[in-house]
Amino acid sequence: MKLARIEDFEVGQHVTFTKTFTEDDVQRFIEITGDVNPLHVDEEFASRTQFGGRVLHGMLTASILSTMVGMVLPGAGAIYRSQTIRFLLPVHIGETVTAHFVVRSIDRAKHRLTIDSWIENGAGKRVLEGTCEAGLLKT
């Protein structure tokens, strides 16, 4: 297996991952977490709120930051060190979103990356944003 090495990365590097969140994803997230907050499961309730209908759990949307770290950048060999998340806009079931990672800085001695991370909806608006720190496995 080829593991990521710190030499593979450069500041400004930009990668993306796109996903459409389905009803099945919501059900899987509920099976994991037990989070049946009415905003996520009760259409009649949610339609009367400022969101105008059921929305994804914010941490479900954020789950694709894991995909980014584990599969895209750094990918195999990554160690997730930290993540900040500001939830900016709701995501409705069936929406397609795209996660973006841009390498902000690299600590080549410690084999660590700091990454600007955000997720956009189909209209190009950010639904969440934050900073990711990832290291690399000792090999």
Binding site for a second copy (CB under 8 A): 1, 19, 24-25, 28-29, 31-40, 42, 45, 49-50, 57-60, 62-67, 69-71, 75-76, 78, 80-87, 130, 137-138
Rounded least distance, CB 103 to a second copy, Å = 18
Rounded CA-CA distance 1/112 in Å is 20
Rounded least distance, CB 71 to a second copy, Å = 6
Residue whose CB is less far from a second copy, 17 or 102: 17
Cβ proximity of 103 and 113 under 8 Å: yes
Rounded CA-CA distance 40/51 in Å is 11
Structure token pair of residue 122: 């189909």
Rounded least distance, CB 69 to a second copy, Å = 8
* Strands 112-120 and 96-107, sheet pairing: antiparallel
